Amino acid sequence: MFSNKKCLIIGASSGLGIECANLLAELNVELILTGRDKDRGNEVARNIGKSAKFYQCDITKPEQIDFLFENIKSNYGCLHYAINNAGVTAPRKPIIDIDFLSWSQVINTNLNGVLQCIKNELRLIRTIPGGAIVNVSSCAGVLAIPDQASYCVSKSALNMLTKIAAIENAQDNNNGYAVRINAVAPGPILGGMNSIERLKSNPENTKRKIEVTAMKRMARPNEIARAIIFLLSTGASYMTGSIVDVDGGYSSGKYS
């Protein structure tokens, strides 16, 4: 099903992005990996082998996105899949103290940057049948979290963007083939944004992150990556516009 297909991962130099890259590499997918950190990104690609190549790209810089997609078009011709995984958070602050620079950094990455990527991805994916995109949202886009306005708003808007993009691209037409577009909304994941150092530096926040799940634990990265890969697969052929909670029960109830 996946063999020799081409998948772009936006934000593949760390955490969940690396996990997705490794699982897809095992399925013989040709990988186009991106991120801002050239050294880390090149190392990820090197560890996978010749089926993966890293391209440096900061998605808050429209000219870098244009350059990335020109390269993809000339080197690969088309894309079958894309995973929009890049995301950042901001220091926790109530709205009354929020500073506009940090708000903008989060919105420019998690929403505006991802929008620009989706637009360019669609142009390449619509040229072949069976294409799919998965956006990496968050449980923070489903339920409000105090002191995290920029992150919650960016992910909740990403959920709506996912649905609109899905509806607009649900059928073959003069613009090309249909593309299925879904999102995952993970609960707290070990690693990545939740590095051991970060978890240790704020034990109260770490405890809260675990307590708000029904399963009373964080996700292992591959528990999220497998859901993403399912959404790309033909197993999810009737799914589009879905925001799939992969959150250990976080959004199903109130636990504290």
Ligand X SMILES: NC(=O)c1ccc[n+]([C@@H]2O[C@H](COP(=O)([O-])OP(=O)(O)OC[C@H]3O[C@@H](n4cnc5c(N)ncnc54)[C@H](OP(=O)(O)O)[C@@H]3O)[C@@H](O)[C@H]2O)c1
CB closer to ligand X, 86 vs 178? 86
Q: According to the binding rule CB under 6 A, does residue 35 interact with ligand X?
A: yes
Are 123 and 49 spatial neighbours (Cβ–Cβ below 8 Å)?
no
Strand order in the sheet with 81-84: 52-56, 30-35, 6-10, 81-84, 131-136, 179-186, 243-246
User: Whole-number minimum distance, CB 61 to ligand X, in Å?
Assistant: 8
Q: According to the binding rule CB under 6 A, does residue 248 interact with ligand X?
A: no
CB closer to ligand X, 12 vs 31? 12
Q: Which of residues 70-109 bind ligand X (CB under 6 A)?
A: 85-88, 109
Q: According to the binding rule CB under 6 A, does residue 138 interact with ligand X?
A: yes
CB closer to ligand X, 57 vs 82? 57
Q: According to the binding rule CB under 6 A, does residue 135 interact with ligand X?
A: no
Could you tell me which of 156, 155, 224, 152 has the C-alpha nearest to residue 187? 224
Are 117 and 89 spatial neighbours (Cβ–Cβ below 8 Å)?
no
Query: How far, in whole angstroms, is CA 182 from its chain's centroid?
Result: 10
Are 25 and 48 spatial neighbours (Cβ–Cβ below 8 Å)?
yes
According to CB under 6 A, which one of 188, 213, 225, 244 is a site residue for ligand X? 188
Q: According to the binding rule CB under 6 A, does residue 186 interact with ligand X?
A: yes
The residues that touch ligand X, with contacts defined as CB under 6 A, are: 11-17, 35-37, 40-41, 57-60, 85-88, 109, 113, 136, 138, 186, 188-189, 192-194
